[in-house]
Amino acid sequence: MQFSTDVENVFTQKEIEEILKDEQNFYIEHAEKNWLNRYFKIKAMANETKVPSIISSISDMPHGSSNFKKSKTEMYALKTIQASEWLEKLDSAIQSLSPIEQELIELKYLRKRNDGSRYSDEVIYPQLYIGRKKYYKMKREALDILGRKLYGAFAERGYS
């Protein structure tokens, strides 16, 4: 309790609100950039079934050596598994949202129109039977929650 009093003495209320807004914007951007905008690419990777060439490589290096080349079959299998785990983590975070927030995220980020583009906000909020102002507030809150739940879940390399 003393800490919050000390913070209030150091920062003005306006400065505290600005810091919290910046933090919220960080998590919203993280959810969109690192998760939702990658959804279709990762989903395709998870469903991809490539058949690598069947050429074996023989090496005299022990299997645990850093110079040992992994087989192409193993690399494809690992990518598919990692993509599936990524999708499960995203789905779990989405399931933690309220039903209307889940539907909002689904309509906005996880579905595409017939021409391959995303639905616009103006198309989505009437489908949810809510007003424009409430829609944008709910969207920010849902993205903030997702960003916080997903932040640091996976190292971002390998999922780009």
Confidence of residue 153 (pLDDT cuts 50, 70, 90): confident
- Rounded average pLDDT over 45-61: 63
Number of separate domains in the chain: 1
Alpha-carbon torsion, ordered 106, 110, 116, 117, to 10 deg: 60
Total H helices, total E strands in the chain: 7, 0
Confidence (pLDDT) at 123: 95
Q: Tell whether the model's pLDDT for residue 53 goes beyond 80.
A: no
Q: Which pTM was predicted?
A: 0.75
Q: Look at residue 63 and tell me if it is in a domain.
A: no
Alpha-carbon torsion, ordered 112, 118, 119, 122, to 10 deg: 170
Q: Look at residue 100 and tell me if it is in a domain.
A: yes
Q: Look at residue 58 and tell me if it is in a domain.
A: no
Q: What digits encode the pLDDT tens for the residues 92-148?
A: 999 999 999 999 999 999 999 999 999 999 999 999 999 999 999 999 999 999 999
Confidence (pLDDT) at 112: 94
Q: Look at residue 4 and tell me if it is in a domain.
A: no
CA 39 to CA 87: how far, in whole Å? 8
Nearest alpha-carbon partner for 159 in 30, 39, 32: 39
Q: Look at residue 57 and tell me if it is in a domain.
A: no
Range of the domain at 20: 14-48+68-150
Q: Look at residue 156 and tell me if it is in a domain.
A: no
Nearest alpha-carbon partner for 20 in 152, 144, 153: 144
Q: Look at residue 22 and tell me if it is in a domain.
A: yes
Q: Look at residue 5 and tell me if it is in a domain.
A: no
CA 62 to CA 49: how far, in whole Å? 29
